[in-house]
Structure 1
Amino acid sequence: MPSIHLSPARAAAIIAAALIPGGLALPTNDQNLDARGFFNFFPELGRMNDVLLFDGLGFQDPQQNDTLRGNVQAFAHLRQLPIGPLIRGVSGFIKDEFDLVVGDNVGRVEERLRLFAAVGSSEKNVNIKVQGCSAAQSDWGTHLGVTDERPHSGQILSTFKLGDCGKKDGELTGRIEIVSDGFFGSGSVRKFENTIFVSPPDGFGIISDIDDTVKITGTLDKKKLVQTTLLDDPEPVPGMPEVYASLKKSLTTSAPPAFVYVSGSPFELYPFLRSFIHDKYSESKGPILLQNFTITDIPSVIDFAKSAGIKEYKSSMIERVQGFYPQKKFLMVGDSTQKDPETYGDAFRKFGGDFVACIWIRKVEGADNSDQRFETAFKDVPKERIRVYEDKDISSLSSVDVKGGKCQ
């Protein structure tokens, strides 16, 4: 891999990509590949590759009740060299721009920015093995497909057959194995694992934003945004872990509710955000759907408060979830800093109250919290389906009988 030369402009672009909500969405076309293609001549991932394997969704095949399908995203890239030059450039940039000192947090900054320096590996075969599922028992496992042919993309998003997994809900373990050397599998093997969260077609679910909804980010304050994303230990919005834990109990029917996190953050921050959810929201874990940024497309003058593209991205993710679970009722939780009210209002108007059970919006100080905004965003949404709450009200959310049809 070539050495990294980081100009101040490049450092600014990387910071912007890491922190600004918006950008280009991940590909959404399903590949529907059930087995390894015998006539597919693209090479397998090899010793020069690593892969970021995202947690995925498992759902019932609408044509076969005893068959599950999985939807999984992966990012294949070249194995990385140390990124010290990048960190030095970023450190200087945030010192000059925000008067923030990296100090002893160099390792933390490097960990959170590492994937922004990754070079994607295009046109590579990617296969995943899923524990205990009939369609993944061959030596090759289940074929995700081929990474995106765009130069340096390395992205793949696939819906594929899992078969009979012996369960209708719960967690399955997926694994991608890369043979580092040797022939015909005789060399050392590196393993990359994920969790596929399986949920039945009916019951309840929660679609949740992350930044300033369940995690303190400070989206509207540039300096705080940099501080919380690169330097600080992530902290939850006070009271929300308890609320989500209570929702898991109160919304359980034949199975626990499905939690799906839909965020405008870039996919390069996935390890950071996944660790946060697993640590602070261990009772409400679920897949995290993030955006794919093209750093060269970030304008030279960054406005961190803009949210161009985020509404369209989140709407497309909600539509995907609805396609997987058309009979589920979802509580949608967001905040007022960006476009959650407008996005969730659109979802209600498009899919109706049988899909969008309730909409909860955290009112964040400094955002547009005007009555006019909410009236426009929630046009044609019954008022009893909406709750706009302040931080002092968070503890009361646990007592709302969402299963019984209440939202307030």
Structure 2
Amino acid sequence: MQFQVVYQDVTEHRQTEEKVRKLYSLQTAIRYINESLLKVGDEQALFEQVCRFLTDVEFIRFCWIGLTDKESLEVKPVAYSGFEDGYLSSLKIHLVNNRGPVGEAIKTRQPCTVADIENDSRFTPRREAALKRGYASSLAVPLIHDAEVIGVLSVYSGSKDAFGDAEINFLVEAAGDIALGISTLRLRRELQQSFSSVGKALEGTVSALASVAEVRDPYTAGHQQRVTRLAVAIATEMGLPQEQIEGIHVAGTLHDVGKLHVPAEILSKPGRLSEIEFNLVKLHAQAGYDILKTVEFPWPVAQIVLQHHERLNGSGYPQGLKGEDILIEAKILAVADVVEAMASHRPYRPALGMGQALDEISKNSGTLYDPEIVDVCYKLFYDKEFKFD
């Protein structure tokens, strides 16, 4: 009698250990799944990783994920892991008249457990195929996204009655993680598509504005694009964040849009400008700001345009800003603008050449122009062989 009690205690202890080991391995798989949610870039990668993590659990022989197809009204497998051996190729699950565990899980929106595949009538059509592959029990859990069942997570074990309440709870959590991953990835994709559409519309608007300004000033046709290329190259070489570089690109493309308010005959005058005429030209920075200030750019475009003629020592216009009061983006545009303008032809003078343009920014480095920006600009032309065209 005493031997029987000891044997029973040992057996129960081993069963408890086995149960703890099963649940720990499931918990580990769930942790890996949660971590993968932060890393995967698309749904297919998510599905494949989930299946692989779950079949790493010792008692899970096979796992697959299927998504509902509204057109065919079927559940279509999209990923699997474990011992499949052609099982899915013969699997046809119709959403309307399917009485199997997968169909039941989808209809009831609840997990469906089959403790003994060999003797459960719900497995009648596929019993032989399942038993042949060593499947003894199964669990199907619906994937619910935005209150709609979009698919199913289905797992199989080589042991009967492998899915108790604790195992079911863990796998329901896994299904929730999958649904959350799907929701996150689809939202991310929608946002990217939205940003892409907005970006294209914004790019078109920016280009149109820039073109209108250059039509009125044919001598600076292409000036804004060339200044933008150099400014973006400088910002990139300086290691500025991509978002900031994008702002410089937009501001560079529009930095002379305020010339729409300057009389065309002044812009194209072949001789030197009088003081009054030059003061009218200088108004283009403020005019550009006034045009752009109500546009909700994700960058301080209007301020950059306003400040691109400011100088470190306060001798610039229109506000006479000094040093750190000037945006770094405006400082970059200032250097790019001067270099391009001096190197190009103007109505009142021929092109002065790149050598003289670079001498200008070098001579006034630290006085008019930011020294770091000047050094990077020099490096681009002499070491990296930057060219405008």
TM norm structure 2: 0.25
Larger CA Rg, structure 1 vs 2 = 2
More helix by share: 2
Greater strand fraction, Structure 1 or Structure 2: 1
- Which structure carries more relative contact order (alpha carbon 8 Å, separation 6+)? 1
TM-score, normalised via structure 1 length: 0.24
